[in-house]
Structure 1
Amino acid sequence: MSPSILNFVEAKDTFTAAITSALDIKNSKPLVHAFSHLPGNEAEKKSTLDQALRGFLELEIVKQADSDDFLALIYLSIDGVTEGVCSATTPFLLLGDVLDCLPLDQCDKIFSFVEKNVSTWKSNSFYSAGKNYLLRMCNDLLRRLSKSQNTVFCGRIQLFLARLFPLSEKSGLNLQSQFNLDNITVFNKNEQESTFGQRHLEEKEDGMDVEEGEMGDEDEPATCSIPIDYNLYRKFWTLQDYFRNPVQCYDKFSWMTFLKFSDETLAVFKSYKLDDTQASKRKLNELRTPGGEHVYFAKFLTSEKLMDLQLSDSNFRRHILLQYLILFQYLKGQVKFKSSSCVLNDDQCTWMEETTKLVYQLLRETPPDGEGFAAMVEHILNKEENWNSWKNEGCPSFVKERPAETKPTRPTRKRPAPKDFLGKGPDRKVFMGNDELTRLWNLSHDNMDACKSDNREFMPSLEDFFEEAIEQADPANMVEDEYKVVRNSNYGWRALRLLSRRSPHFFQPTNQQFKNLADYLENMVIKLAKELPKDLPSEEIKTGEEDDEDENGDTLLKQSSDSPDMQNKMVTNEQMDEVAVKLGGQWKTLAEHLEVKAVDLREIEADSEDAEMQAKMLLVAWQDRVGSQATVDNLVTALNTAGFAKIAEILTET
């Protein structure tokens, strides 16, 4: 009798009716009952139920049902996963469909449901199947939201992702320390269109009429020795480009511009004092809504009319000063992917230290509670140093393995000591259960010493083993190739084993190609003949190519034997930068010899399109993988094997 075949249309209608019944009674039993009574295998029925759920949701969206109806259907799909009647990805597909079709004001309620069930998403049944769906869903929402108008919603999404994924999740760590270069601050760069001159002209014509708030409040006296004109306005907002892309500060010309503009801006902050009186308290109250919730402005307003108000605003001043501290921390910090050219000189470091002290002083003088705010900022930036160090070390896991729980065991009888059954003293005899084994075991009182005895040395010396081969290699003896011992496969096998134990030439890289084992042994015999005692016929066995090869081999041997520190010396970031510059687009050739995984290579190609940066990331990935084995000697060996001998010379010279 043939097995029953599932009819997709009938099964889908049956599941749709079961979904309606399950929603009415708020229980998944109708789904389980329909699933168990339908024909077909489990995979077919699960796929049909998944389609029925998505089709039912589509009808609800078309009818413009309430958000509670959508959530009830998603809850039902979660119960279906728990009962094993639908796929683990179905709840996430339903969530994605709902959020794609609803307006943003209704998405807030749906996302609250997502936040509330974060423990469900992190469970074993859902995490591996749904983490990518949730990440894609959150990114789609962030693209729809405005970062300035929907700031709170964007922050909730980021916090949800932080709770969902582990701390070591690579997608959220910004391992390459990239900057958001799209965050451009737009301001008036045309002096001819500046309103400063027009404003002064209007004030002069109108006499005493001044726009409210533009020139200061009577409750808030503020004196500034530097005039607030277009020149100050332009320099002040130009600094935002340096905060957006700090790498510019390593350029000499850009640094001089940043230095000049910063000195003038901080001088304005220093002379433009804020008064912690009723005016500051009134401004703080203005930043709160009638309900008491704090209002947050995500983007600076760069209107020229607001310049004097912004300089007297404590919240605005704290933003700018905090940007300085974050910039200085990056410039002075050790970042793994920072280029070797990104180095500050002594004058730059001295200026940053003095400016850092000035910034903290201004933060302490900024009301309200300047002392507490400055202390909190310093504490947070110190913790940030720990975060940078963790990323530079390759992001090791924070999870510590719990020791295995020791269960009480019943007491066992004490084992006898070896001397109790082996005997005592030098005349003790060990019985192995067989007369012959007992005799062999007791041939010596100390078996380790017996193994180290000279009569146990069966390996011949290089002189004795290769004496005949060296004689046959001498052209004066006129031995034909077919009669040479190196052509014997048995001799070749034993010769390779002996060379691996006693000859340093065996492990040296060479650019010479050999067609077979006999040719390789002939080349090795010529090298050995030059090193063996002079009574052996070695002086006549010379060719020009072999001399060059031998000189190269001697040079490599001298480098490896005369510089033992090279074998233990770790590769520095500067050396990796030099190698990356020389490699360029040929980094994939070296990747094969560094044994970097194909997954890491795909990540490198996806993360950057610059050939030098890809080469640098390859070396960093190799360094993370091998750890303490990332030595100069190992990298030189890989470069020579890959055919980059000239690049390897850079490491041996440093």
Structure 2
Amino acid sequence: MAVATTIPANPATARLNDLLRRAREVKQTSSIDPPLQVSALIEGDEGILGSLQGGKDAPDIESAAKSIFYSTLASIDISDPSFVTVWDLLDILQYCSNRDLCSQQLVLLLIEELLDGLSLTGCRYAFTFLESRRETLISPQSQNKNLVILRLCNELLRRLSRAEDPVFCGRVYIFLFQSFPLGDRSSVNLRGNFHVENVTTFEEYLGASTPVEDGMDVDAKEEVSEDAQVTEKDDVPAISETPTAKPPTMDINALYPVFWSLQNFFSDPPRLFDTENFKRFKDGLEATLAKFKEVPKVIQTVGTSLPTSAESPSDGGYDELASASNPKYLTSLDLFKLELSDLAFQRHILVQALIMIDFLLTLTEKSKSKPYYQAAQKAMQYPFTLNDEETEWALGIKVSIANYLQEGPDGKFYYRMVDTVLSRDKNWVRWKMANCKSFQRKKVPTKDYVDSKSGAQRAVSNKKGTKSRVSSDLHFLSNTDPQNALSQLRHDQKFVKPSPQFYANLIRTIDLDLDMADTEEEKRKLLDTKSSRTWRGLRLASQGQLKSFDNIEHGKGLEKLPPVTLSSEATGDENAPNASEDRDSVPQEQHPSVEEQRAGHQDQIMADSAE
């Protein structure tokens, strides 16, 4: 590497030169990728810049870096393999900036100087460095760094032609979109300005030789009788008109100035706020759609397209319709007939019309009453309001365009893609009109997270020991032969099925307690207990004498069942008392409690599972 002798001899310059020498040993290739492993340049415990530190030494480090950078640019061409010194220097400086040893935007400033001094061919190659180091360059983000990225990319886009360099322009835009967060206001047109500089020129003088005297005045001959109106006037019938009446279409020469004049409205929508201009736009769009439906369709094949001001991509992997790249169509009258038949051309024009119609529909009285429109900036609150008749036309022509776009090869897929993009753009417009309120949630503070976590743990923790539902004493298993343990669990006495009579006795007891209850709370608890035990008894009685339930009066419970349901034959329970026995003679102690019943039921389940 040739280094000019004008470089000042200071410790920062000597250290950077030493690191670049080590970099040539670590990174053997001369390409941009892979990035230089800066940590491999450090020997032992030394710092990246030796004894130099940030703060007071930062100006010396930046001055030394610029001196080496400019001297290398002056002596080495970007196509030379030794130009890898520049990429190594930028990687080293980025490593230092991440550790606050120099300015965070130093690398971006040097790249900006590099792109300004290179040709477009060199910029295409140098821009690869930005793309490959994007995550490192933009992290962490800062306002000063974002401004440099925005200025750098905008200056590069001014030098490029969207017609001649569409791919490179796309790379720059993608880099911009990936470098800024989605909700960043720097990429938003808050003032609602339109690209009025995008002027479409065409052969307007041809209008004098056509039946239409003015390029846009398609109604100049309204005094002609209705019987004599043919191609001189764009008299497209309304959408509600019957399909049997085929609408007349304009002649190619008459349609030519009307069609290309639509581009002036597309680039400057506020022009439609004038009543006469809106009528011209309406007539021109209807005439264009009618002509599109009439002409034969021509589908471009891969690698072929209509003559435009930019070459279409000829990559065989592209879709046939997607291969037609027309950033700016030629407006020659000789090509107009061919362009009208091109399906890709038609779709591009109609998508422009859909965008314009969506803009007009945001100006209806209903849309203007929405909260997001009321909160919009004054520049985006237009004084124009679409009346009912104009709104009906806009909705109707939108449906007609949508139906037409779904025709042809992959038409439904194409329209679904367009509709999805336009729907998302509506949400984007609302966000801009609402003054770009941030939709990103702030990070939860560490203290709040810890408090919430501990609170959730306390809420689910067992404050008191949960009583086991299995209340049977299993200590006998320790003194029992393991081979006989299972048989002990299956013993008949482990679970005694209650009878309906058991619950009937309990209900009679509850009825006595209800008569002696003093408070409403006590009565409520007794009634709940009675309902529960009535349901349990009826469930047991239903196993053998379900037909007896017809004798139960409405609103009555277990105590009204016939006596036959209380026998062992009716319930299938051998332990149930016979009907001939006195009901009151059955001692309550002979029947297990509710907890004992649950415990016995659990024992039976465990025994069945083991079996």
* TM-score when normalising by structure 1: 0.52
Q: Output one character per residue of 1:259-285: Cα deviation in whole Å (capped at 9) or x when no partner.
A: 2222222221122242xxxx6363676
Shift in Å, 1:358: 1.3
Structure 1 match to 2:161: 146
Structure 1 match to 2:176: 161
> Is residue 355 from structure 1 mapped to residue 397 from structure 2 by the alignment?
yes
> Is residue 319 from structure 1 mapped to residue 348 from structure 2 by the alignment?
yes
> Is residue 18 from structure 1 mapped to residue 15 from structure 2 by the alignment?
no
* Amino acid in the other structure paired with 2:21: S
Q: State the SS of the aligned residue for 1:390.
A: helix
Structure 2 match to 1:50: 62
Structure 1 match to 2:301: 282
Counterpart pick for 1:298 among 327, 331, 336: 327
Q: Output one character per residue of 1:415-469: Cα deviation in whole Å (capped at 9) or x when no partner.
A: 9xxxxxxxxxxxxxxxxxxxxxxxxxxxxxxxxxxxxxxxxxxxxxxxxxxxxxx
Q: Distance in 1 between matches of 2:22 and 2:102?
A: 14
Q: State the SS of the aligned residue for 1:166.
A: coil
Counterpart pick for 2:411 among 370, 379, 392: 370
> Is residue 382 from structure 1 mapped to residue 382 from structure 2 by the alignment?
no
Counterpart pick for 2:337 among 299, 308, 311: 308
- Superposed CA RMSD: 3.4
Counterpart pick for 2:290 among 267, 291, 316: 267
Q: Which runs of 5+ in 1 are unaligned?
A: 1-6, 197-222, 416-654
Counterpart pick for 2:264 among 227, 241, 250: 241
Structure 2 match to 1:172: 187
Counterpart pick for 1:343 among 385, 388, 404: 385
Structure 1 match to 2:114: 98
Counterpart pick for 1:328 among 352, 357, 368: 357
Q: Output one character per residue of 1:620-648: Cα deviation in whole Å (capped at 9) or x when no partner.
A: xxxxxxxxxxxxxxxxxxxxxxxxxxxxx
Q: Output one character per residue of 1:395-417: Cα deviation in whole Å (capped at 9) or x when no partner.
A: 222222465254448979x99xx
Q: State the SS of the aligned residue for 1:396.
A: coil
Aligned partners of 2:207 and 2:257 also within 8 Å: no
Q: State the SS of the aligned residue for 2:406.
A: helix
> Is residue 135 from structure 1 mapped to residue 143 from structure 2 by the alignment?
no
Q: State the SS of the aligned residue for 2:203.
A: coil
Q: Distance in 2 between matches of 1:230 and 1:70?
A: 59
Distance 1:401 1:228, change over 3 A: same
Distance 1:393 1:21, change over 3 A: same
Q: Distance in 2 between matches of 1:19 and 1:254?
A: 67
Q: State the SS of the aligned residue for 2:98.
A: helix
Q: Output one character per residue of 1:230-261: Cα deviation in whole Å (capped at 9) or x when no partner.
A: 32111110010011111111111211222222
Shift in Å, 1:288: 5.0
Q: Distance in 2 between matches of 1:411 and 1:175?
A: 49
* Amino acid in the other structure paired with 1:178: N
> Is residue 185 from structure 1 mapped to residue 208 from structure 2 by the alignment?
no
Identical-pair percentage: 27
Distance 1:297 1:224, change over 3 A: farther
Distance 1:72 1:136, change over 3 A: same
Distance 1:263 1:110, change over 3 A: same
Distance 1:313 1:320, change over 3 A: same
Q: State the SS of the aligned residue for 1:282.
A: coil
* Amino acid in the other structure paired with 1:156: R
Distance 1:121 1:23, change over 3 A: same
Aligned partners of 2:313 and 2:324 also within 8 Å: yes
Structure 1 match to 2:511: none
Counterpart pick for 2:85 among 64, 69, 75: 69
Aligned partners of 2:183 and 2:438 also within 8 Å: yes
Counterparts of residues 476-625 of structure 1 (less than 5 Å):
none
Aligned partners of 1:360 and 1:374 also within 8 Å: yes
Q: Distance in 2 between matches of 1:272 and 1:162?
A: 40
Structure 2 match to 1:29: 42
* Amino acid in the other structure paired with 1:325: L
* Amino acid in the other structure paired with 1:23: A
Q: Distance in 2 between matches of 1:64 and 1:338?
A: 49
Q: State the SS of the aligned residue for 1:280.
A: coil
Structure 1 match to 2:136: 120
Q: Which runs of 5+ in 2 are unaligned?
A: 1-6, 27-37, 212-245, 306-311, 368-372, 464-611
Aligned partners of 2:131 and 2:175 also within 8 Å: yes
Shift in Å, 1:186: 1.2
* Amino acid in the other structure paired with 1:351: W
Q: Distance in 1 between matches of 2:315 and 2:167?
A: 18
Number of equivalenced pairs? 375
Shift in Å, 1:368: 2.1
Question: Which of these two proteins has the greater Rg computed from alpha carbons?
Answer: 2
Distance 1:411 1:13, change over 3 A: closer
- Mean Cα deviation higher: 346-355 or 57-66: 57-66
Shift in Å, 1:122: 3.1
Higher RCO, 1 vs 2 (CA within 8 Å, ≥6 residues apart) = 2
Distance 1:194 1:149, change over 3 A: farther
Q: Distance in 1 between matches of 2:304 and 2:333?
A: 24
Distance 1:49 1:273, change over 3 A: same
Higher helix share: 1
Q: State the SS of the aligned residue for 2:204.
A: coil
Aligned partners of 2:302 and 2:316 also within 8 Å: no
Shift in Å, 1:19: 4.3
Q: Distance in 1 between matches of 2:204 and 2:66?
A: 53
Q: Distance in 2 between matches of 1:229 and 1:83?
A: 67
Shift in Å, 1:35: 4.1
* Amino acid in the other structure paired with 1:264: A
Shift in Å, 1:381: 2.0
Q: Distance in 2 between matches of 1:373 and 1:265?
A: 20
Q: Distance in 1 between matches of 2:173 and 2:290?
A: 37
